[in-house]
Amino acid sequence: NLKNILITGGAGFIGSHICLNFLEQGFNLYIADSFLNSSKEVFNRLKNILDISNNYDVKKINVFEGDIRNYKFLENIFLEASNKNEAIDGVIHLAGLKSVFESTLDPTYYWDVNVNGSINLLKVMMANNCKTILFSSSATVYGNSGEIPFKESNLINPINPYGETKATIEKILNNIFNSDSKSWRICVLRYFNPIGAHPSGMIGENPNGTPENIFPLILQVASGLRKKLFVFGNDWPTQDGTCERDYIHVVDLAQAHIKAMQYLLKAKNCNLTLNVGKGLSTSVLDLLKTFEKVNNVKINFEFTSKRDGDIPISFADTSLSFKILNWKPKYNIEDMCK
């Protein structure tokens, strides 16, 4: 029952870990990526990891370079797959832009890539009668929507253009499901804060340009690329005054995709929205302390003013995803930092 899966953004930080997991499980992959924020080198790395575990068939990964806003580019992938008798069974849609700050400077760019790109993908999927999709949404859609831990049923209230684009794509997916609920299988995954890397160290988070998220910044300080980390605020209403987040190991996150795709492929129809986090909150200072301890390095840091748009505490109510996916993250903060 080899299944053929299209992964948009498959070369990126999360996408590369998902690819590895799906290849290990025997899926046949089609990857669409513009390499705007990633490199083709990642596929050599994946091959190396799989060669070592003697688990790899080169024919199983088909890489296509292009932009998800280009209809012909996506259409061609579906065509090539079906010409090989490997019609795409499902799509994991990760491609897009993810910087909150950049989205405030250039909102139309974000709406164009994230929303128009997704609409384009959905049109190509419909034209090819592929109606199974896992979509990478974000905890950012909750904004400051009140009740913590965040539950999927909370009202969403994104407070930046990036979050607005994710919330809009979720709405579009809902509309599509309602228009043809007998045949669509949709799962929206709202990721919390994915960090860490595959234990081989051969793939990980290596964004082009200046990172904005805390973990790649800590890594740059640890490796000497950056002198210090600026910690945004020390008088938040939290245990130690720094913000708390729900960090999840990227390998656990990838595993949740396997479970979610298996769930979709078995379902007749469905429209699910699930949080993907660990359900625990960790402060910036605790993350730094753990990183220093398990890696035996010093991370220089300095407190600075609060960052616009930050909220003190964000963590997931994970009960629904743990139950539906029959999955639980395995790794703790120490593993993520190692």
Interface residues with ligand NAD (CB under 6 A) are: 9, 11-15, 32-38, 67-69, 94-98, 113, 117, 136, 138, 191, 193-194, 213
Contact criterion met (CB below 8 Å) for 32 and 66:
yes
Q: Is 109 known to be catalytic?
A: no
Nearest to 110 by CA among 120, 99, 121: 99
**Interface characters, 138-157, with ligand WQD (x: CB under 6 A):** xxx-----------------
Q: Report what 37 binds from ligand NAD, ligand WQD, none; CB cut-off 5-8 Å by kind.
A: ligand NAD
What tokens were used for 280? 């625990």
Binding mask 207-236 for ligand WQD (x = CB under 6 A): -----xxx--x-----------xxxx----
Whole-number minimum distance, CB 148 to ligand WQD, in Å?
A: 13
Q: Please count the other Cβ atoms lying within 10 Å of the Cβ belonging to residue 180.
A: 11
Which of ligand NAD, ligand WQD, none does residue 310 bind to, with CB < 5 to 8 Å depending on kind?
ligand WQD
Q: Give the distance from CA 165 to its chain's centroid.
A: 15
Rounded CA-CA distance 10/60 in Å is 14
Q: How far is the CB of 233 from ligand WQD (least distance, A)?
A: 7
Q: Which does 250 bind (CB under 5 to 8 A by kind): ligand NAD, ligand WQD, none?
A: none
**C-beta separation of 34 from 65 below 8 A:** yes
CB 268 → ligand NAD: shortest distance, Å? Answer: 27
For residue 157, the tally of other CB atoms under 10 A from its CB is 13
Nearest-approach distance from CB 19 to ligand NAD, in angstroms: 11
Interaction between residue 289 and ligand WQD (CB under 6 A)? no
* Residue 95 vs 167, nearer CB to ligand NAD: 95
| Cis before 312? omega within 30 | no
Residue 61's identity, in one-letter code, is I
Q: What's the rounded Cα separation, in Å, for the pair 97 and 116? A: 12
- Burial letters for 220-246: b for 16+ Cβ neighbours within 10 Å, e otherwise? ebbeeebeebebbbeebebeebbbbbb
- Coil, helix or strand for 91? strand
The DSSP 8-state label assigned to residue 150 in this structure reads: B
Question: What is the smallest separation between the CB atom of 213 and ligand WQD, expressed in angstroms?
Answer: 3
Cα distance between residue 206 and residue 35, in whole Å: 12
Binding pattern to ligand WQD, positions 180-209, x when CB under 6 A? -------------x----------------
| Alpha carbon separation from 178 to 9, 120, 136, 273 (Å, rounded) | 27, 19, 20, 15
Residue 159 CA: distances (Å) to CA of 145, 170, 238? 10, 16, 21
Closer Cβ to ligand NAD, 10 or 327, answer by number: 10
- Among ligand WQD, ligand NAD, none, partner that 277 touches (CB below 5 to 8 angstroms by kind): none
Query: Which range binds ligand WQD by CB under 6 A, 7-15, 53-61, 196-204, 307-315?
Result: 307-315
Nearer of residues 245 and 249 to ligand WQD, judged by Cβ: 245
Which amino acids are annotated catalytic? 162
Can you give the binding site for ligand WQD, defined by CB under 6 A? 98, 100, 138-140, 193, 212-214, 217, 229-232, 243, 245, 284, 307, 310, 314
